[in-house]
Amino acid sequence: MSNATHLTGAQAWLNFRRIVCDTWSHDNLILLGDAAHTAHFSIGSGTKLALEDAIKLAQVLNRPGLERGAALSEYQAERNLEVLKLQNSARNSTEWFETLDRYLHFEPIQFAYSLLTRSQRVSHENLRLRDKAWLEGVERWFQSAAQGREVNEAAPPMFAPLRLRALELDNRVVVSPMAMYSAEEGTPNDFHFVHYGARAQGGAGLLYTEMTCVSPEGRITPGCAGLYTPEHVAAWRRIVDFVHANSGAKFCLQLGHSGPKGSTKVGWEGYDVPLDAGNWPVMAASEMPWSGDNQIPRPMTRADMERVIGEFVASVRMGLEAGFDMVELHAAHGYLLSSFITPLANKRTDDYGGALENRLRFPLEVFAAMRAAWPDDKPMSVRISANDWMGELGVTPDEAVEIGRAFWAAGADLIDVSAGQTWADCQPVYGRMFQTPFADQVRNEGRVTTMAVGNIYESDHVNSILAAGRADLVALARPHLIDPMWTLRAAAGQDYRRVRVPPQYLGGIAQLTRNLQREAELKA
Ligand SMILES: Cc1cc2nc3c(=O)[nH]c(=O)nc-3n(C[C@H](O)[C@H](O)[C@H](O)COP(=O)(O)OP(=O)(O)OC[C@H]3O[C@@H](n4cnc5c(N)ncnc54)[C@H](O)[C@@H]3O)c2cc1C
Ligand SMILES: Cc1cc2nc3c(=O)[nH]c(=O)nc-3n(C[C@H](O)[C@H](O)[C@H](O)COP(=O)(O)O)c2cc1C
């Protein structure tokens, strides 16, 4: 039994015990309710769980022919699953209340939305079922805030525009950067032309290139794209021109250097596995190999740093020549700049190691040099790993707030909040939208613009994240691998008619919208 019910509010909050039991019965003793599990009372579900336990227990014990042991196994198996889901939601809810200060600057309507969706079990569409008129009020408020004028029509938050410096994005859906490992000597080819062209036509407001490398040694694999020769500029220019001529998508160039994770095989031959032949030497913050199988990197000297800064700047200038709208610095996932930021890989004892301020020094130098070479009216973003998934030994989400703020102060317009891939033995906790809490924390504690990414795959996820102010943009990677038209499909699913559709494809979206509507009516 929970002793929490016998305490007063404040005491109960502080003393709350999350009970998890591996075994729910022993001899003639059967646990149910708070004795078997507790879920923080801020989601108000303890009584429901206890009653549902009792109902299920009565069912299995009274089912003719069911032996007692089997009955109790079924009871525990079924109830435990429900309990785990609710305990997860309860933890989200508890954290929301514990970090409430983060949201105090929200307008009341968004604060209410954030409160209602805090457990992440109640989503945008779920709120529509509960109170359609109120939700449409939220949608109108969101659109009005995004457009800077009174908007009287409700529309899904994902279809709100966003302005970054002089760049206007049509909507908040982003094709996340994805390495295609299909370039030759760094040059993108027809595969890339079709790949990016199709995804741009699919309706997303912003399209990212794959990590495009600033030098041959900065490539992860021999198939990685680059931007360090005139041929690369011409090849990218052709793709950028197509995107601009045939879609409303804006195009962001992600620039990076592989550092200690370089000289490895293309993705489908094994991630981070060194080449069988033709390896090139790699460098990093310190002599820390990515794994026992990877090369020991050379710790960077000041001369190396100067050279790499020059390479990033040269690539930025080429990016401008190629016509990109935006540039992102890749400072995540264990690559060169990330190897400086994470204390797990950075063992330096000079000005570039130790405290976060020192570990950020070189990445910020690179960023500042890029910013100076990139026009003032064009935005820049930085991708960070907001959690090394190694507890206090690595970068924590609290530290990520400082990292985001530092790049913001240096002129970044968007912090692209990813996580992990910085340490081979890390222990990520995967799940639906699993990195979104970091985008939320960096945004609302750091007061910066963020992009969420990571296992976000439904339009309902995207709308909920945006309306709750957990991020300003939402990037989807794998969903776009299998469906370049993800955004247009989402528009059809929500009967949103004002999305920009390539005129050649208008018949397709009209039919899909009708079919999905009919399906929804039948379901209702
Ligand atoms: C502050 C607070 C707010 C909450 N708000 C909500 C809410 O809004 N909605 C919701 O659904 N849930 C809420 N809960 C949770 C909910 O109260 C519990 O999950 C629920 O009461 C659990 O029911 P139970 O029967 O398992 O245990 P209990 O309700 O704790 O019942 C156990 C009973 O056993 C008795 N008992 C203990 N030892 C013995 C003994 N040795 N012999 C005989 N009797 C004994 C106790 O006196 C008690 O009456 C809240 C909890 C707290 C603490
Ligand atoms: C095939 C593939 C290649 C990727 N390449 C990159 C990359 O070049 N740069 C980068 O920052 N992230 C890269 N990622 C990570 C994605 O951008 C994204 O953060 C991750 O896949 C989680 O999003 P998802 O759950 O929507 O797939 C890649 C992901 C995939 C699946």
Residue with tokens 């495009």: 212
Q: Are 376 and 247 in contact (CB under 8 A)?
A: no
- Give me the residue label for tokens 């709120």: 127
Q: How far is the CA of 332 from the centre of ligand 2 (A)?
A: 11
Q: What pLDDT was estimated at residue 1?
A: 36
Q: Which tokens in the block code for residue 176?
A: 């996340």
Reply yes or no on whether the pLDDT at 517 is more than 70.
yes
Predicted local confidence at residue 224, as pLDDT:
98
Half-sphere exposure of 297 (CA within 13 A, CB side): 30
Task: Cite the beta strand spans of 439-505 per DSSP E.
Answer: 450-453, 473-476
Return the half-sphere exposure (C-beta side, CA atoms, 13 A cut-off) of residue 501. 21
Decide: helix, strand or coil at residue 5: helix
Is the pLDDT reported for residue 116 higher than 80? Answer: yes
Give the per-residue pLDDT at 4.
41
Q: What is the pLDDT of residues 3-44, one digit of tens each?
A: 444 455 555 666 788 899 999 999 999 999 999 999 998 888
The protein residue with its alpha carbon nearest to ligand 1, atom 4, reads 41
Determine whether the shortest distance from the Cβ of 261 to ligand 2 is under 6 A: no
Q: Is the CB of 173 under 6 A from ligand 2?
A: no
Amino acid at 164: L
What single DSSP character describes residue 297?
Answer: P
Q: How far apart are the first and last CA of the chain?
A: 41
Asked if residues 119 and 90 have their Cβ atoms less than 8 Å apart, the reply is yes
Ligand 1 contact, 311 CB (< 6 A): no
Count of CB atoms situated within 10 Å of the CB of 248 = 19
Question: Is residue 245 scored above 70 in pLDDT?
Answer: yes
- Report the separation in Å between the CA atom of 38 and the middle of ligand 1, taken as the mean of its atom positions: 10
The backbone torsions φ and ψ at residue 325, rounded to the nearest 5 degrees and listed phi first, read: -90, -20
Residue 223 pLDDT level (bands cut at 50, 70, 90): very high
Residue nearest to atom 40 of ligand 1 (CA): 1
Pocket test for ligand 1, best of 3, 18, 30, 47 (most atoms within 8 A of CB): 47
Which pLDDT value is given to residue 524?
A: 84
| H-helix segments, 68-189 | 68-98, 108-116, 124-130, 132-147
Tokens for 265, please give them.
């095989």
User: For the segment 427-482, what is each residue's pLDDT rounded down to a tens digit?
Assistant: 998 989 999 999 999 999 999 999 999 999 999 999 999 999 999 999 999 999 99
Query: What Å distances lie between residue 277 and 258, 289, 297, CA to CA?
Result: 18, 18, 17
Quote the CA–CA distance of 484 and 487 in Å, as a whole number: 8
Three-state secondary-structure class, residue 152: coil
**Tens-place pLDDT, residues 174-185:** 999 999 999 999
Beta bridge partners of 162: 169
With a 6 Å cutoff on the Cβ, whether 295 touches ligand 1 is no
Residue 56 near residue 82, CB atoms below 8 Å: no
pLDDT average, residue stretch 139-167: 98
Report pLDDT for 11: 59
Residue whose CA lies nearest to ligand 2 atom number 28 = 178
Write down the pLDDT at residue 44: 86
Q: Check residue 13 and give its pLDDT.
A: 67
1 lines ligand 1 (CB under 6 A): yes
Burial (CB count <10 Å: 0-12, 13-18, 19+), residue 521: exposed
Which residue lies with its CA nearest to atom 3 of ligand 1?
41
- Looking at the CA of residue 480, tell me the nearest atom of ligand 2: 26
Distance CA 19, CA 50 (A): 13
The pLDDT of residue 344 is 98
Residue 117 — very low, low, confident or very high, per pLDDT cuts 50/70/90?
very high
Q: Is the CB of 2 under 6 A from ligand 1?
A: yes
Report d(CA 448, CA 443) in Å as an integer. Answer: 5
| pLDDT value at residue 2 | 40
Radius of gyration of the chain measured on its C-alpha atoms: 25
Residues 6+ apart with CB under 8 A from 393: 343, 344
Helix, strand, or coil (residue 418) = strand
Mean pLDDT estimate for the chain:
96
Q: What pLDDT is recorded for position 12?
A: 61
Which atom of ligand 1 is the closest one to the Cα of 13?
1
Report the atom number in ligand 1 closest to the C-alpha of 4.
Answer: 53
Please report, rounded to a whole number, the percentage of residues in the chain having pLDDT higher than 90. 93
> Residue range 130-159: average pLDDT?
98
Give pLDDT tens digits for 185-218.
Answer: 999 999 999 999 999 999 999 999 999 999 999 9
Rounded to the nearest 10°, the torsion over CA 17, 23, 28, 31 is 30
Return the pLDDT at 169.
98
Distance 198 CA to ligand 2 centre (A): 18
The pLDDT, as a whole number, for residue 14 is: 67
Give the helix, strand, coil percentages of the chain, each rounded to 5.
Answer: 50, 10, 40
Pairing of strands 326-331, 167-169: unpaired
Spell out the residues 6+ positions from residue 452 whose beta carbon is closer than 8 angstroms to its own. Answer: 417, 433, 435, 436, 439, 440, 465, 470, 471, 473, 474, 475
Backbone phi and psi for residue 451, each to the nearest 5 degrees, phi listed first: -120, 130
Q: Who has greater pLDDT, 425 or 15?
A: 425
Helices then strands (H, E): number in the chain?
A: 18, 15
Confirm or reject: Cβ of 455 under 6 Å from ligand 2: yes
Backbone angles phi, psi at 170, to 5 degrees: -65, -35
Distance 15 CA to ligand 2 centre (A): 41
The residues annotated with a catalytic role in the active site are: 335
In this prediction, residue 247 carries a pLDDT of 98
Residues 6+ apart with CB under 8 A from 520: none
Q: What is the pLDDT of residues 484-513, one digit of tens each?
A: 999 999 999 999 999 999 999 999 999 999
pLDDT reading at 130 higher than 60: yes
Q: What is the 45 CA–ligand 2 centroid distance (Å)?
A: 37
Best residue among 173, 174, 175, 176 to mutate for probing ligand 2's pocket (most ligand atoms within 8 Å of CB) is 176
